Amino acid sequence: MERAFIYNGEARKVFPIVAFGNKYDVIVVPRQYNSDGTLALKVLDIVDNEDHNDQMYAEPFGTLTVNMSSDLQSGTQAFVKSYSENEDWADKLAEAIGGKKTNISKQAGYASVSLWDFSNINV
């Protein structure tokens, strides 16, 4: 059965990921980068608040995308940050939310990032 979490009045799908040797339940929230209005995907961790009757809340976990200031980015296409702290989970989560990896990549310092199409995103 698919889990959902209400965030800012909207039901969001909950996705399990493994990062840093631990399992997390996360939601993905589409946003826009301020600099160019392209797609930014924020990842929030669902946390049980044991101090307040086990009420659940969401706290920042990471950002799935990275802004490369590229003409290839849009409201439905974004570069996925699959290096550094995102290495273990980014590609799996991008696929789980309906993203499709393209054959396009771009150099981001010492790492390479792939462009993903999120036209069919389901979060």
pLDDT tens readout for residues 6-25: 999 999 999 999 999 999 99
- Please, what's the largest Cα pairwise distance for the chain? 48
The stretches in the chain having pLDDT less than 70 are: 1, 50-54
User: What's the one-letter identity of residue 73?
Assistant: Q
Tell me the pTM. 0.92
Give the DSSP letter string of 103-115.
EEEEEETTEEEEE
Separation CA 83–CA 56 (nearest Å): 29
E strand spans, the chain: 4-7, 10-13, 15-19, 22-32, 39-49, 55-63, 65-66, 77-80, 100-108, 111-117
